Structure 1
C-alpha cells in the first residue's frame, strides 16, 4: 500500500463468533461477535462504503466489558450483494437490523444500538418497529442525519456559492459510479478532505481508505441513490429508547445541523456530544470518545452493565445538554 503502515489498533480484531443471518428478503448478512459472551450486548451498524472493519478501534475499547455485535450492511464487507436496485432501500436497512437483533439478542433481553452514518439512518429507519424496540435499551446516533443530505453537504469549497449549482454538483459527487481504484496518495488526500478532520494522522487515513476502496462501485452507487432521497424523520420521531447523538464539528457529509435537528425530534434525547476538529469518520478519528459515549448509555440503560467507574478513556458524565469533548 505505497509504504503506509496500518497501526495495529485499526486492524480488525478476530471475532469470537461469526454468524450468517438471513434478512426478510433472503439476503445473507455477515455478523461478528466480539468480546465477552456473558456480558451485556452492544450492536454496531456501520455506514455507507464501510464494513465491520470500520469499528475495529471501538470494538477493542469495548470488548473487555461487553458482548459486541457488528454486522456488514448488505452489499458491504462479507455480506451478500443484492441482485437488483430494488433490494436497496431504507426498508431493507430496517429489516436487516431486525434480523440481526432477532438472531443476536435473545427474547426478553435488550442491547444498546450504535450506528454511524448510514448505520444511524438504519436505526432511524427501524424506529417504531416493535421487534426492534423490544430489543433496544438505548441508542447512539453517530455522524448521521435523517434527511436533506445533499442540501446540507459541505464538501464543495465555499467559492461555489450558487445554491442550485452546489446541490447539483454535490448530487453528482454522491452518486458517482467512478471506480475508486487502488489506494494512492491522491485518493488518500481526497478522502481525507471529504470525510476526515485536517488533523487526522496517516494511519487513520490509510485505514479509512482501505475500507472505503473495498466497497464495490455498484454497491456504493446504489446506496448513494437511496441516501440522495433519504427521509427517515418519521422513524426518528418514533424511537422511544433513550438516544444520544454524536457529531464532529468538521463533518462535511453530515454536518452538525443534522445532529441538532435529531436532538429536537427525538422523544428521549440524552445529549449531543460535539467532537472538535473531527470529520465524518468519528469512530476511527476519535474512538475513545465514541466508545465512552456508547459505554455511558450502556451503563445507564442496560441491566447489569459495568459500572461507569470502569468506562473507557475519554468517558463523559451523563447529561441531556450539548457537550464538547476535550481534544
Structure 2
C-alpha cells in the first residue's frame, strides 16, 4: 500500500496547515489544492489512483478539514485570515515543507484551489517548485456576476441573491435528500451518480460556517486577472460544460490569458465538482502533465 504520513506546516501568519503525503519518496510529485467548503477528502479518487506511482501531497486550506481558522480574541477569523495573500502564503508553506529545495511538482487546483495557484503565481517558492499546473473548474474574477447558480437573468437582482446564498451564516444542516438535490443543482451535472452527490454533500456540509462565510467575502471581491499572465509554467485547464459556479466561459478566458496554456478541455455533462464527478478525466489530465514535465508514465496498467 502507498505510504502515508502527516506533515506539520506553519504558514506565514502562524496558522497551522494540515498536510499529508501519500506515496513513496522519489516518485513524481503532485500537489492537490481543494476548493471552497471542501477538504482533503475531496481528492479521495485521485489519491487512490495517483499514490500508487506518484508522491501526492494534499492539504486542507485554512479553516477547512483539519486546518483551523486563525482566530482573534473574539474567536472569529482575524484580520487577513481570509484573503488571497493568505491562500498564497499557505501554498508556499506547504511546498516548502513537503518538497526538497529545487524539487518540482505538478500543482493542481480545483475552484478556490485554482485561485490559490493563481494568487501564488508571482511567489518565489511557487516558481521554484511548480513544473506545471492543472486548473479545474475555476476563474480569476467576476465570480458573483458570472455565476449561474440562481436561475435568473444576469443583473443586480441575481447578484444580490447569489451573494446572500454564498455568504449566509445559516448552518447547512444534515445531509438529506433535499440538501443533496440542492447541492446537485448548484454544483454538479444532472447525471451525477447518487453516491458521488452524497460524498460531496458530506464534505461540503462539514465545512464550518465561519469558514464558509469568510471565504465567500473573498470570492465576492476576487480579482486575480493580473496574476494569470504571471503563471509562466505549462498549464492545462479543465471545465465542466454544466458548471453553474464557474461556467466554462471563465475557463476559456483563463486559457486565452495564460502564457503557456497546453490545453483546454470542457467535460460534457460535468458540473463544478469535476474531480468527484469525472475522476478518471482529472486523473488522466494530471498523468499527462507529470509524464510531460516530470518524466512520469501516463499509464501503469
TM-score range with shorter-chain normalisation?
Answer: over 0.9
Q: Is the 8 A contact 2:144 2:162 kept in 1?
A: yes
Q: Is the 8 A contact 1:296 1:311 kept in 2?
A: no
In the alignment, the residues of structure 2 paired with residue 267 and residue 229 of structure 1 have an alpha-carbon distance, to the nearest angstrom, of 24
Q: Which of 170, 190, 197 is the equivalent residue of 2:162?
A: 170
Gaps of 5+ in 2: 72-76
Structure 1 position 200 matched with structure 2 position 196: no
Q: Is the 8 A contact 1:15 1:32 kept in 2?
A: no
In the alignment, the residues of structure 2 paired with residue 111 and residue 246 of structure 1 have an alpha-carbon distance, to the nearest angstrom, of 18
Matched ranges for 1:183-198 at <5 A: 183-198=175-190
Gaps of 5+ in 1: 1-12, 313-327
Q: Which of 104, 122, 130 is the equivalent residue of 2:124?
A: 130
In the alignment, the residues of structure 2 paired with residue 102 and residue 301 of structure 1 have an alpha-carbon distance, to the nearest angstrom, of 20
In the alignment, the residues of structure 2 paired with residue 105 and residue 210 of structure 1 have an alpha-carbon distance, to the nearest angstrom, of 31
Q: Is the 8 A contact 2:24 2:54 kept in 1?
A: yes
The alignment partner of 1:306 has SS state of coil
Question: How many Å apart are 1:130 and its aligned residue?
Answer: 1.4
Give the RMSD, CA atoms, in angstroms. Answer: 1.4
Q: Which of 58, 64, 69 is the equivalent residue of 2:57?
A: 69
Question: How many Å apart are 1:73 and its aligned residue?
Answer: 0.1
Q: Which runs of 4+ in 1 moved over 3 A?
A: none
Q: Which of 40, 52, 55 is the equivalent residue of 1:52?
A: 40
In the alignment, the residues of structure 1 paired with residue 271 and residue 112 of structure 2 have an alpha-carbon distance, to the nearest angstrom, of 15
Question: How many Å apart are 1:85 and its aligned residue?
Answer: 4.2
Structure 1 position 152 matched with structure 2 position 142: no
Aligned length: 295
Q: Which of 114, 133, 142 is the equivalent residue of 1:139?
A: 133
Question: How many Å apart are 1:175 and its aligned residue?
Answer: 1.1
In the alignment, the residues of structure 2 paired with residue 82 and residue 182 of structure 1 have an alpha-carbon distance, to the nearest angstrom, of 25
Structure 1 position 35 matched with structure 2 position 33: no
Question: How many Å apart are 1:14 and its aligned residue?
Answer: 8.5
The alignment partner of 1:182 has SS state of coil
Q: Is the 8 A contact 1:111 1:135 kept in 2?
A: yes
Structure 1 position 277 matched with structure 2 position 265: no
Question: How many Å apart are 1:37 and its aligned residue?
Answer: 2.2
Listed one character per residue, the Cα deviations across residues 82-109 of structure 1 (whole Å, up to 9, x for unaligned) are: 2124211000000000000001111121
The alignment partner of 1:134 has SS state of helix
Structure 1 match to 2:91 = 97
